[in-house]
Amino acid sequence: MADVAPAINFNTKHLKKGDPLPPFAGKLRVYNMRYCPYAQRTVLALNAKRVDYEVVNVNLVDKPEWLTTKSAFGKVPALEIADGVTIYESLVTVNYIDDVYPQRPLRTRDPLRRAYDQILIEAIGPVQNMVQKLGGAPDAIDEPALDAYFKTLDLIQNELNKRRTAFLGGAEPGYGDYMIWPWLERILLYKHLNEKVEFNKPKYKQLAEYVQKMTEDPVVSQYAVSAEIFAKLMENFKNGIIDFDVLSQ
């Protein structure tokens, strides 16, 4: 484990149809999309463990022909472990990373806490839906979606209170924290679009503090995208433009 995080270029150009597959050079490789919350899970796990790896960003609208040879589902993330040996699906890659890199274990060894971490990850669905709605038609957010969203926030806050630790993982973030984070981060970025999703209020004091601490975590901040960039992406998207490379050189 390196003393400092390896310098990873997260902002490589997104390869598209017709672009050749960069030859595998023996370094662990993540097939990623810079703004994909699922792929972010894999990136956060690798960053938490300070593993050195390379990022191959992929244009998910105009997909390169070779993508399905890396993920049978043609999606990101995929993790290439050896030349042509690839696993995919966000939690599958993170579980593998946690299995093979022993430094800073992400999953607790306590079976019951481990189960509750997984339950929270399952429970994040309504927050994922809310992120989609905020990105699409924020004015159309209805009561059932809000109820489900706040029910998930209740579950997260209750679990934090039960554990009495700064993070679900303890004194620093762990599996549960990083696996639900990408959508909490996007709620922060999008919440101005509909005030009904705001959780910075007395009822969610602990949750709001937790989210604030998460934004300050170096593993998280290292990969964070600014509100300005997200606003630009969203503005482009509304005009029918998906500019994957807004952060790239």
**Which residue, 156 or 220, has its beta carbon nearer to its own copies?**
156
Which residues here bind its own copies, judged by CB under 8 A?
A: 72-73, 81, 85, 87-89, 91-93, 95-96, 99-100, 111-112, 114-116, 118-119, 122-123, 151, 155
Please, what is the minimum distance in Å from the beta carbon of residue 12 to its own copies?
24
Active-site option among 15, 30, 36, 188: 36
| CB-CB contact of 197 with 140 (8 Å) | no
Query: Would residue 224 show up in a list of annotated catalytic residues for this protein?
Result: no
Please, what is the minimum distance in Å from the beta carbon of residue 151 to its own copies?
8
Please, what is the minimum distance in Å from the beta carbon of residue 114 to its own copies?
7
**Which residue, 155 or 234, has its beta carbon nearer to its own copies?**
155
Please, what is the minimum distance in Å from the beta carbon of residue 238 to its own copies?
29
CB-neighbour burial class of residue 129 (10 A; exposed 0-12, middle 13-18, buried 19+): middle
**Which residue, 13 or 151, has its beta carbon nearer to its own copies?**
151
**Which residue, 99 or 235, has its beta carbon nearer to its own copies?**
99
Active-site residue set: 36
